[in-house]
Amino acid sequence: MTRFEALNIQELIHLPVTRVWDLLTDWAAAPKWMPGVDSMEAEQLTGFGAVLDYRSGTHERQLVISSLEDGKSITLSAGSGDIGVLYSYELSDEFGHTLVRLTVGVEAVAELEDEVGELLAAIATSESATLKGLRAYAESAP
Instruction: Write down the H helix ranges in the chain.
Output: 17-24, 116-127, 130-140
Fold of 2-140: Alpha-D-Glucose-1,6-Bisphosphate; Chain A, domain 4 (3.30.530)
Distance CA 105, CA 53 (A): 20
Task: Render the burial of 84-97: b for 16+ CB within 10 Å, e for the rest.
Answer: bbbbbbebeeeeee
Segments of the chain assigned E as strands: 2-13, 39-42, 51-56, 59-69, 73-78, 83-94, 97-108
What is the β-pairing status of strands 2-13 and 97-108? antiparallel
Q: Check residue 137 and give its pLDDT.
A: 97
CA distance linking residue 2 with residue 91, whole number of Å: 26
Residues 40 and 60: their CA atoms lie apart, in Å, by 10
User: For every one of its 142 residues, what pLDDT tens digit does the chain have, with 9 covering 90 and above?
Assistant: 899 999 999 999 999 999 999 999 999 999 999 999 999 999 999 999 999 999 999 999 999 999 999 999 999 999 878 999 999 999 999 999 999 999 999 999 988 888 898 899 999 999 999 999 999 999 998 8
Three-state DSSP at 29 gives helix
CB 50 within 8 A of CB 43: yes
Q: What is the pLDDT of residue 97?
A: 98
Q: What is the pLDDT of residues 2-31, one digit of tens each?
A: 999 999 999 999 999 999 999 999 999 999
What per-residue confidence (pLDDT) applies to 113? 80
Closest CA to 10 of 138, 142, 141, 130: 130
